[in-house]
Every structure is written in structure tokens, then in C-alpha cells.
Amino acid sequence: MANFKDSWNQFGEGMWRQTPPLFTALGLCPSLAVTTAAINGLVMGLSTTAVLLGTALVTLAIRNIVPREVRIPVYTVVIATLVTVVDLLLSGLVPDVHAVLGLFIPLIVVNCIILGRVEVAFTRLNVSSSIADALGYGLGFTWALTVIGAIREIFAGGTVFGFRVLAEGATAWQIFRTPPGAFFTMGLIVAFIQMLRMRAAKGRSRETARKETVQAA
């Protein structure tokens, strides 16, 4: 049970506490480049999740036989291989998606989230926590990119996942199609979530204070 709790905790780290690229400024390059639409963010996120999960499994299998001195080159080759496999699979099976993401899939290789998780988590934690960590960071990255993509899509053209949510021409701010728009969006999301977190923290401290007062009385 303790094991499950640890794993759940580890999952939460990437999923909400340290979500990249919002709260861990890693993987900014793909985030800025591809999130012009919600679908792009979703697919990019899921591809990254797949590579993270694959890397975690391979790392768990070989971490005891890979000498420390060569771990970085070995894991880099592992990641590059997995990314190329994802690239080929996408281009063979879902060419429409690949047409949009083709340029950015190879960027997963240099996405520091992956090598970072190998170093910090997959080589150190137990099996279930490592997998939880991979899923947490992958899905956290996925929702963050999807939300950024959705907001940019709304502001740039009034659609989400290609469905019209605002009247034609209500929003047509081309800047949201460009990388600066991604920065604006990211900043707004971080600010909004921070606001919620600070409110919650304030509420908690008031609660504590009230209890203390009651106790004192």
C-alpha cells in the first residue's frame, strides 16, 4: 500500500506539482513551436509520453548492467531510437498528424524532460514509481500543451480541436499563431494557476489560524 502511495505521489509530481513546461521550464522548444492548435499539443504530448514510458521501461531493464560512465550516451541512443520509431510509426500510420508534427518529433530527442527523468527518476526509483513518474510527466506535459494549444487556437481563429466555439472573425489575433503568442498563453496559464494556489494556501492558513484561535479560547 505504501508502494502505491509512493507511486501516486510520484505521478502527481509531473501531473500537477511540477508540470512541464508550465512549472518546470523544460521542453519549451516543442511547446512554443507546435501548440498552434489543441490537437497538435495533444499529439505532441502523447508522443512524448510514449517515448517517456518506453525510455522508462528500457532504462529499468538495463539500468543495472549499464556502467555509470557511459550511461548518458547509452540512454541518449535509447531515446533517439525510440523517437525515431515513434516518428516512423506516425508517418506510416497517421500521416496527417505527421504532416503537422514531422518537424518537431525529432525535437523530442533533445527534449530535456526525458533525459532529465532518466537521471532523476528512472535510474533511482523502484519500478512502479518510475512508471508512475513517466506517466505523470508525460500526461502533465500533454494536458499543458493541449491547454496552451486550445487557448491559442481560440484566440487565433475561434476554434478548439477544429470545432468552432466563437463566431467567425470574433477573434483573429494572428500573434497567437506565432511563438510570442505561446509565451503570452503560457504566462497567463501560470499566473492563473498560481493565483488559485495562493488562494488555496491563504485559505488553509486562515483555517489553521481559526483553529488555533478556537483552541486558545
Partner 1 sequence: MSVPQAKNQSLRLIVTLAVTCVLAGGILAAVYGWMNPLIEAQRLAAALSQGFGPIFPDGENYKELELAALPQGVEGPVYEIADGSGNVLGIGFVGASQGFGGPVRMAIGVDPKTQTLVGVRVLEHTETPGLGSPIEELSFLQQLEGKSLSDPFRIGNDVQGLTGATVSSRAVFDGASTMARAVLAEIGLEVAGADMPAGLDEIFPNAAAVTELAVTALPDGVEGPVYEVTDGSGKVLGIGFIGSSAGFGGPVRMAIGVDPNTQTLVGVRVLEHSETPGLGSPIEELSFLEQLEDKALSDPFQIGVDVQGLTAATVSSKAVFDGASKMGRAVLAELGYEVKVAEAAEPAAAPAPAGPEYADAIFEIVGGDASLTAADLWEVRQGDDLIGVATVVTVQGYGGPMDVLAVVDPKAQSLVGVRVLKEKETPGLGSRVKEPGFLGQFVGKTLTDSFKVGDDVDGITMATISAQAVSDAAKQAIELIAQLYAGS
Which residues in this chain contact partner 1 in the complex, by CB under 8 A?
65-67, 69-70, 73-74, 77-78, 80-81, 84-85, 88-89, 91-93, 95, 99, 174, 177
Residue that is written with C-alpha cell 521501461 in the block? 57
**Smallest separation (angstroms) from partner 1 to the CB of 213:** 59
Compare residues 12 and 179 and give the one whose CB is closer to partner 1: 179
Q: Which is nearer to partner 1, 102 or 203 (CB)?
A: 102
Closest approach of Cβ 70 to partner 1, in Å?
Answer: 5
Q: Output the smallest distance, CB 177 to partner 1, in A.
A: 6
**CA neighbor of 148 nearest in space, from 1, 11, 17, 21:** 21
Q: Which is nearer to partner 1, 77 or 188 (CB)?
A: 77
Whole-angstrom Cα distance, residue 6 to residue 3?
5
What whole-number distance in Å separates Cα of residue 41 and Cα of residue 49? 12
Smallest distance from the beta carbon of 132 to partner 1, in angstroms?
Answer: 26
DSSP structural state of residue 94: -
Q: What is the DSSP string of 146-190?
A: HHHHHHHHHHHHSEETTEE-S-TTS---GGGGSHHHHHHHHHHHH
CB nearer to partner 1: pick between 18 and 63: 63
